[in-house]
Amino acid sequence: MPRFTIHHVTKYSYEGPVRDSANQILLFPIQDEYQELLRQELIISGDPPLERFRDYYHNEVGSFTHADPHSSLVIDSSVEVVTRPRPEPVDQGSAEEQWQYLRQVRHETPYIDFLMQEHFSSMQELVDSARLDEAAALTPLQAARQLKTYIFDHFQYIKGITSVETTVDEIWNLKAGVCQDFAHILLILLRHMHIPSRYVSGYICPNQSGMRGEGATHAWIEAFIPLNGWVGLDPTNNCVVTDKHVRLAVGRNFSDCSPVKGTYKGGAGHSLEVGVSVGYESGKTTDEKATILSPQPAKNNGEQNSYRRYMEMMQQQ
């Protein structure tokens, strides 16, 4: 069973003093038959009291307020996690039987939220490009695997050209992004086919194997497949989720699963840096010096990003 030590640091820096910073964190690894949290140390600058509770999707959530004036906020989480192998998903029953089962459960409480579709102006282009009419002739598992591969093949993995505020139309026009964008597009495609699907935030710990998203927070999706349950699919790496993926939270979209979000009083602008480092199966605490903070992209526009400018010019020709 793989054992990982993960160090995750989030740092907000403000241009001037701010106060009453109210924050919500989802930095507590999910605990179930596939994942066990052995240890966690959480340090928050100012040492505010932390309230912990379960949200609607059963994620453990932390909430705190840093009331005193401050010019930075650091949230430092160190965890030790053991993961266990998941059974390989397999088709059971005919394609028609499985699609009929999904039609029967689509109005049941556990699945309604994960079928809520997000509409955007290029929806039909995406549906046609992904050939959803052909995918409908497959089993739900085969269709989900095919759409995962479609995204991997048709979208470029480029850091920094999108942010959490990037719209689906922008992702579609760019045909590029990072893990959260790939997951976003796959959710839309699967929900269009009436396969309940949920967003997952966490980490990928491949021991420096060159997989996309390692050494940072990661995102993928889980699709509800008849007689298999929730099956994890990682379109960024074109793989089924394994015991190298560590889950933090699940939800309808990124907003439900954001590791850190909040607000504060004060007019000063701010910047965000995040660093993640992973220790592999040694049982040792991650060396903090190995955790390098990297600036996170703000909302992009054509003036800030050369790749985006190039794509806009191509679209105008």
3-state secondary structure 151-181: HHHHCEECCCCCCCCCCHHHHHHHCEECHHH
Question: In terms of domains, do 118 and 243 share one?
Answer: yes
Q: Are residues 237 and 265 in the same domain?
A: no
The answer to whether residue 89 sits within a structural domain is no
Assess if residue 225 is contained within a domain: yes
CATH of the domain at 189: 3.10.620.30
Look at the chain and report how many structural domains it folds into.
2
Q: Examine the domain organization and report whether 126 and 200 are in the same domain.
A: yes
Residue 186's Cβ-side half-sphere holds a number of Cα atoms within 13 Å equal to 37
- The answer to whether residues 206 and 267 belong to one domain is no
> Do 100 and 249 fall within a single domain?
yes
The closest of 274, 312, 280 to 295, measured between CA atoms, is: 274
- pLDDT score for 279: 83
- The candidate with the shortest Cα–Cα distance to 44, out of 60, 17, 16, 68, is 68
End-to-end CA distance of the chain: 54
Residues 130 and 215 in one domain: yes
The pTM (predicted TM-score) of the whole model is: 0.89
Do 146 and 225 lie in one domain? The reply is yes
What domain range includes position 282?
A: 3-84+258-296
How far CA 269 is from CA of 59, 65, 88, in Å, comes to 30, 19, 47
Question: Which pLDDT does position 119 carry in this prediction?
Answer: 87
List the structure tokens of 223: 């699709």
> How many Å separate Cα 71 from the centre of its chain?
28
pLDDT, residue 160, reads 86
**Domain co-membership, 225 together with 100:** yes
Does 250 share its domain with 267? Answer: no
Contacts of 97 (CB under 8 A, 6+ apart): 226
| Mean pLDDT, the chain cut into blocks of 10 residues (317 residues total) | 92 92 96 96 96 97 95 96 94 95 94 93 95 96 98 94 90 95 97 98 77 78 97 96 95 95 86 88 48 72 44 35
What is the reported pLDDT for 217? Answer: 87
Looking at residue 280, which CATH number applies to its domain? 2.60.40.2250
